[in-house]
A and B are shown apart, each in its own frame.
Chain A
Amino acid sequence: MERYYQEDIECAPRERIKAIQDEKLLKQVRHVWENVPYYRRKMEEKGVTPDDIHSSDDLYKLPFLSKTDLREAYPYGLLGVPLKDCVRIQSTSGTTGKRVVAFYTQEDIDLWEECCARAIMAAGGTNEDVCQVSYGYGLFTGGPGLNGGSHKVGCLTIPTSSGNTDRQIMFIMDLKTTILCCTPSYAAYLGERMRELGYGPDDIPLKAGIFGAEAWSEEMRRDIEKTLGIKAYDIYGLTELSGPGVSFECSAQGGMHINEDHFIAEIIDPDTGEVLPEGSQGELVFTAIDKKAFPMIRYRTRDICMLTREKCSCGRTHVRMMKPKGRSDDMLIIRGVNVFPSQIETVLLNQGYAANYQIIVDRMNNTDTLDVQVEMTPEMFTDNLGEVEARKKALVEGLKSMLGLKANVTLVAPKSIQRSEGKAVRVIDKRKI
């Protein structure tokens, strides 16, 4: 039986969701126009005023916000309310060093925690569950978000935070944790450790896991589900938009429902900024229509994904986003297929290789070629040639199923891949040279 935290809104008819979005967007645009001079200036530059926005259909008229804006406006430039009305900040490290600092009013926190509560109930959670939050607590949004959501559902909450694996396992076994919240890589690691300690899936009391904050593959999901004996649910979010719970998976495990009563999602062409029709793959853009302290309008996530409004078997009517395929800033187009280094990395890590690889794209006889060089590791090496060959074949197969494209894999010596400031140079695109 599917459980909902707020069934009325989570399963509302489309027209009602649209009406809510229209009304909230108008208010939000006016709020930002009046209280966030940084964004008002951007609107003026584009020649738009709140009077031009009559419904969510006019969203496309508004200017985008990006990581660059966050950097320029740091720390208070995008603040929408007086500081005395803010009760908390959360923060994440930006890619270029400057941190993102997001502000919250009490209402902002309440709606964020409600989103997390929806995710926990979609994973089958009730007030009879024991929910262990093994995301980091502190500036990182993972711990505080799921912690708040768990309280709202009424679960017995175990705030272990991240790390100290043996203590995590002690709590899982002794207090019979039923729901685990952490990053997928940590879940995989916990599973490994529990197996080492002799716990099989039937001994482990867990029934569900809510895993997010990093990219993970279907393969990894199946592995985790098998080792821990659980159903694993994906959750998505960004500090800029609140934190985890912007969207979450339901029992159908076929994409994450975006909480559309709080966020409007668009898919745009990352190059032109043009809004793309439903079903297209492109950059995900979010408008937070409720958040007052840090009101992001048309925030470019850089995540490349697809939206679908197809009916979901769980009964929820909110649009679903597919797992992001990668980042728009490092997307490669090879033989017409979008390829992200992160996808290749996922396959490598899933199969036991290290993330030391190089992607070489070239063009021969008018056809793109994809070569992946992978450094050999002690873990993947044996004295048996057939075995090493078999593992290499498995890697080629894994890449093919992830990318939909055949890659030529070469195993190379450790540390033979060119490095820049200690990190391997990931992509060499000879087509551009």
Chain B
Amino acid sequence: MSIKQISVFLENKPGTLNKMTKVLAEHDIDMRALSLAETKDFGIVRIIVDDVFQATNVLKEADFVASLTPVLAFAIPDEPGGLNKLLDAFTEEKVNLEYMYAFLGGKDTNHAYMIFRVSDAKSAENALAARGFKALTQEEISQI
């Protein structure tokens, strides 16, 4: 199961990221992961949250432009070569990576978590599952 990433448009000026985190905080939305891509006048912040539906709504109400993107999340054993094995599978299956970012689990300290944005989440997921790499579900992410 791919999970939903929320991508948010941010103007590149002081306080805009803070304005967004404030909206989420006020509504008790927990962020699992965050990554920021920026140019000199705007940025895109990508977040994984515990409650996608509510987060999207409150962001919209606060006049943010946000979109949902299916991404793949994997738990990787926190040991040498962990990420490498997974990326080998990506290469062998010719999965085209657009971007990726990592985050650490809360209670679980034995795994690192990686988010992958690929062009076709569904077929990538099936191909990787066949090689023994099972993507995390939305449910599993919420429980980390």
Chain A residues in contact with chain B, CB under 8 A?
376-378, 381-385, 388-389, 410-416
- B31: interface (CB < 8 Å): no
Which listed residue (A410, A411, A415) contacts B63, Cβ 8 A?
A415
Tell whether, in the assembled complex, residue B39 and residue A389 are in contact, meaning their CB atoms are under 8 Å apart: yes
Give complex CA distance A414, B9 in Å.
9
Interface hits, B9-40 → A, CB 8 Å: 9-11, 16, 37-39
Given contacts A376-B9, A411-B42, A412-B11, contact A385 B63 (CB under 8 A): no
Tell whether, in the assembled complex, residue A383 and residue B65 are in contact, meaning their CB atoms are under 8 Å apart: no
Tell whether, in the assembled complex, residue A381 and residue B64 are in contact, meaning their CB atoms are under 8 Å apart: no
Which listed residue (A376, A378, A381, A385) contacts B37, Cβ 8 A?
A385
Number of A-B contacts (CB under 8 A): 50
Tell whether, in the assembled complex, residue B65 and residue A376 are in contact, meaning their CB atoms are under 8 Å apart: yes
List residues of chain A with CB within 8 A of the CB of B88: none
Given contacts A382-B7, A385-B39, contact A413 B67 (CB under 8 A): no
9 further A-B contacts with Cβ under 8 Å, apart from A383-B44, A383-B46, A411-B41, are A376-B9, A378-B65, A381-B7, A383-B117, A411-B9, A413-B11, A414-B64, A415-B63, A416-B63
List residues of chain A with CB within 8 A of the CB of B42: 376, 388, 410-411
Closest chain A residue to B6, Cβ basis: A383
Tell whether, in the assembled complex, residue B65 and residue A377 are in contact, meaning their CB atoms are under 8 Å apart: yes
Tell whether, in the assembled complex, residue A388 and residue B64 are in contact, meaning their CB atoms are under 8 Å apart: no
Chain B residues in contact with chain A, CB under 8 A?
5, 7, 9-11, 16, 37-39, 41-42, 44, 46, 63-67, 69, 98, 117
List residues of chain B with CB within 8 A of the CB of A377: 65
Tell whether, in the assembled complex, residue B65 and residue A413 are in contact, meaning their CB atoms are under 8 Å apart: yes
Tell whether, in the assembled complex, residue B67 and residue A381 are in contact, meaning their CB atoms are under 8 Å apart: yes
Tell whether, in the assembled complex, residue B41 and residue A381 are in contact, meaning their CB atoms are under 8 Å apart: no
Which of B5, B9, B67 lies at the interface centre, i.e. has the most chain A CB atoms within 10 A of its CB? Answer: B9
Q: Shortest CB–CB separation between residue A410 and chain B, in angstroms?
A: 5
Give complex CA distance A410, B43 in Å.
12
Which of A382, A385, A412, A414 lies at the interface centre, i.e. has the most chain B CB atoms within 10 A of its CB? Answer: A385
Given contacts A383-B44, A383-B46, contact A416 B67 (CB under 8 A): no
List residues of chain A with CB within 8 A of the CB of B44: 383, 385, 388
Tell whether, in the assembled complex, residue A382 and residue B39 are in contact, meaning their CB atoms are under 8 Å apart: no
Tell whether, in the assembled complex, residue B16 and residue A413 are in contact, meaning their CB atoms are under 8 Å apart: yes
- What are 29 inter-chain pairs, A to B, with CB distance below 8 A? A376-B9, A376-B65, A378-B66, A378-B67, A381-B7, A381-B9, A381-B65, A381-B66, A381-B67, A382-B7, A382-B67, A383-B5, A383-B46, A383-B69, A383-B117, A384-B98, A385-B39, A385-B44, A388-B9, A410-B41, A410-B42, A411-B9, A413-B10, A413-B11, A413-B16, A413-B63, A414-B63, A416-B11, A416-B63
Q: Shortest CB–CB separation between residue B38 and chain A, in angstroms?
A: 8
List residues of chain A with CB within 8 A of the CB of B65: 376-378, 381, 413-414
Which of A378, A384, A413 lies at the interface centre, i.e. has the most chain B CB atoms within 10 A of its CB? Answer: A413
Give complex CA distance A413, B9 in Å.
7
Give complex CA distance A410, B11 in Å.
9
Q: Shortest CB–CB separation between residue A378 and chain B, in angstroms?
A: 5
List residues of chain A with CB within 8 A of the CB of B41: 410-411
Q: Shortest CB–CB separation between residue A165 and chain B, in angstroms?
A: 27
List residues of chain A with CB within 8 A of the CB of B37: 385
List residues of chain A with CB within 8 A of the CB of B69: 383
